[in-house]
């Protein structure tokens, strides 16, 4: 069935100024690139406004989308913040499986389309317009198929993550 992405995702943009002496969980582009692990930071060390991260959402990068910096968030921690280069997308789970939605956002076809829609801020910094993303037309399989696909791909991702962890802990070769 055809849908627009704005039918299945709600963009939740709430900007805040971090407070001194408050501990934050910070989702940034550098922390994504550094093993996809959020930073633990005090408010006084954060130099600019950030976005509040909903408890269950998908953070989609709007800068240089070809790098696929897409973060699946599902935790109840307080004080979660993200770089303003992310779009916090809350999944309408009445219409789409959360895991399937994540894999939809990292699909090559979506990335390829968005790469052709970038607006340049410089030669190396290309941002997408959130409206271009949200107005994309997609075809959704039925709910049980979404769950099957999302579960299967999640299992593969978990195995890849486990393999990376094992490799990271291997002794260096002599």
What is the band of 171 on the pLDDT scale with cuts at 50, 70, 90? confident
What is the band of 169 on the pLDDT scale with cuts at 50, 70, 90? confident
What is the band of 87 on the pLDDT scale with cuts at 50, 70, 90? very high
- Of 39 and 173, the structure prediction assigns the larger pLDDT to 39
pLDDT score, position 165: 83
pLDDT score, position 120: 56
Query: Residues 29, 32, 35, 38: is their CA dihedral positive or negative?
Result: positive
Tokens encoding 104: 């939809």
What is the band of 76 on the pLDDT scale with cuts at 50, 70, 90? very high
Report residue 84: phi and psi, to 5°: -70, 0
Architecture per CATH, domain 2-168, reads as: Alpha-Beta Complex (3.90)
Burial code of 138-166, b = ≥16 C-beta within 10 A, e = fewer?
bebeeeeebbebbeeebeeeeeeeeeeee
Flag whether pLDDT at 123 surpasses 60: no
Half-sphere exposure of residue 137: CA atoms within 13 angstroms, side-chain side:
2
Question: In percent, how much of the chain has pLDDT > 70?
Answer: 94
| 124-141: pLDDT as tens digits | 668 889 999 999 999 899
Please give the C-alpha separations between residue 82 and each of 31, 34, 59, 109, in angstroms, as whole numbers: 10, 15, 8, 26
Please give the C-alpha separations between residue 96 and each of 5, 6, 93, 99, in angstroms, as whole numbers: 11, 12, 5, 9
| Angstrom distance (rounded) from CA 42 to CA 20 | 7
| 26-67: pLDDT as tens digits | 999 999 998 889 999 999 999 899 999 999 999 999 988 989
112 closest CA partner among 164, 68, 159: 68
């Amino acid at each position: 069935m055809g849908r627009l992405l704005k039918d299945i995702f709600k963009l939740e943009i709430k900007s805040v100024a971090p407070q001194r002496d408050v501990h934050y969980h910070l989702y940034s582009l550098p922390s994504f690139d550094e093993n996809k692990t959020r930073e633990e930071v005090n408010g006084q060390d954060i130099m600019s406004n950030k976005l509040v991260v909903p408890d269950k959402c998908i953070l989609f990068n709007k800068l240089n989308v070809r790098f696929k910096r897409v973060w699946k968030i599902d935790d109840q921690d307080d004080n979660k913040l993200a770089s303003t280069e992310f779009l916090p997308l809350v999944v309408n789970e009445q219409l789409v499986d959360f895991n399937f939605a994540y894999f939809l956002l990292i699909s090559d076809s979506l990335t390829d389309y968005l790469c052709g829609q970038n607006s340049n801020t410089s030669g190396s910094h290309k941002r997408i317009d959130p409206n271009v993303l949200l107005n994309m037309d997609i075809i959704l399989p039925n709910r049980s198929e979404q769950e099957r696909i999302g579960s299967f791909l999640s299992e593969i991702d978990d195995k890849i993550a486990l393999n990376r962890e094992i490799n990271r802990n291997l002794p260096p070769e002599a």
